[in-house]
Amino acid sequence: DIDHLNLRVQKELVEWLNWLKADIGFDGWRFDFAKGYSADVAKIYIDRSEPSFAVAEIWTSLAYGGDGKPNLNQDQHRQELVNWVDKVGGKGPATTFDFTTKGILNVAVEGELWRLRGTDGKAPGMIGWWPAKAVTFVDNHDTGSTQHMWPFPSDRVMQGYAYILTHPGTPCIFYDHFFDWGLKEEIDRVLSVRTRHGIHNESKLQIIEADADLYLAEIDGKVIVKLGPRYDVGNLIPGGFKVAAHGNDYAVW
């Protein structure tokens, strides 16, 4: 165990971080198991090393109902993520992985896409509250891969990417999906839409429809994304939009 309250430990870790920056060329940090030490300590490391980007892994359990599925209201879960960023410094480079969005997406793509519209009409994850500080993802080395601790439904992974790559927040692509699953070209097509239209971490999200079999949203008035098996949605798509990417139960205009 590392005693992060020990001043010598803090000093040596800060020196190491600055060495990684100056000599090796790293410019961002990932704080593993960030709930294992206080945000005040993380603030010390960030303030004294000044990375251009920092992201924390704060993985806690969602609130579940008697049916074993996540409750519609996950405010307490995403509040914990927001609190960490607040304490570290909201104006700085600190962000957190949006585990709230990950957990809701896991279930939503299994025929419960209504979950993707919160009670306030916004996205139900951290991206609905503070998208500039939310790093979205479909799976990572813990949840997917060989550890398989909380995997995304494997046959619906591209629905997950269609969501995070078109929505506000900072999307993160999982190495396994990109290089090992044969999804590189499909992910690239959706990613190119984000890049081409300048979708960014604070883009404006308008949710058009969120039913069991259909999620439809418009981002910045430039991009529309559809998830779900419902096929006939032409009447909901404004004129001038053309399909730019599509696959199993998703499309991007």
Distance CA(99)–CA(59), nearest Å, equals 7
pLDDT of residue 86: 98
Tell me the C-alpha to C-alpha distance, in Å, between residue 221 and each of 116, 135, 155, 225, 246: 19, 22, 30, 11, 19
List all residues 6 or more positions away from 230 whose beta carbon is below 8 Å from its beta carbon: 211, 213, 214
Q: Which string of DSSP letters, residue by residue, matches 186-235?
A: HHHHHHHHHHHTT--TT--EEEEEEETTEEEEEETTTEEEEESS----GG
Q: What would the two tokens of residue 105 be?
A: 């997406």
Mean pLDDT computed over 39-54: 97
Residue 88: phi and psi, rounded to 5, are -75, -30
pLDDT of residue 1: 78
* pTM summary value: 0.97
Q: Residue 183's Cα: distance from chain center in Å? A: 18
Q: What would the two tokens of residue 228 be?
A: 């779900």
Residues in the chain: 253
Evaluated on CA atoms 61, 125, 38, 8, the torsion sign reads: positive
pLDDT in tens, 106-154: 999 999 999 999 999 999 999 999 999 999 999 999 999 889 999 999 9
Q: What would the two tokens of residue 71 be?
A: 């409750």
Mark out the alpha helices in 20-141 (DSSP H runs).
39-49, 75-89, 99-108
Distance CA(65)–CA(140), nearest Å, equals 25
What letter represents residue 182's amino acid?
A: G
Mean pLDDT computed over 9-26: 97
Distance CA(138)–CA(127), nearest Å, equals 14
pLDDT of residue 2: 86
pLDDT in tens, 68-111: 999 999 999 999 999 999 999 999 999 999 999 999 999 999 99
pLDDT of residue 28: 98
pLDDT of residue 78: 97
pLDDT in tens, 150-185: 999 999 999 999 999 999 999 999 999 999 999 999
**Hey, where are the domains in the chain?**
58-203
pLDDT in tens, 203-252: 999 999 999 999 999 999 999 999 999 999 989 998 999 999 999 999 99
At 246, is the secondary structure helix, strand, or coil? Answer: strand
Contact between 58 and 33 under an 8 Å Cβ cutoff? The reply is no
Question: What percent of the chain lies above the pLDDT cut of 70?
Answer: 100
Q: Hey, what CATH topology would domain 58-203 get?
A: TIM Barrel (3.20.20)
List all residues 6 or more positions away from 108 whose beta carbon is below 8 Å from its beta carbon: 114, 115, 116, 215, 227
Point out which residues pair with 221 in neighbouring strands.
none
How open is the CA angle 9-11-17, to the nearest 5 degrees?
A: 100
pLDDT of residue 247: 98
Q: Which residues are catalytic?
A: 32, 57
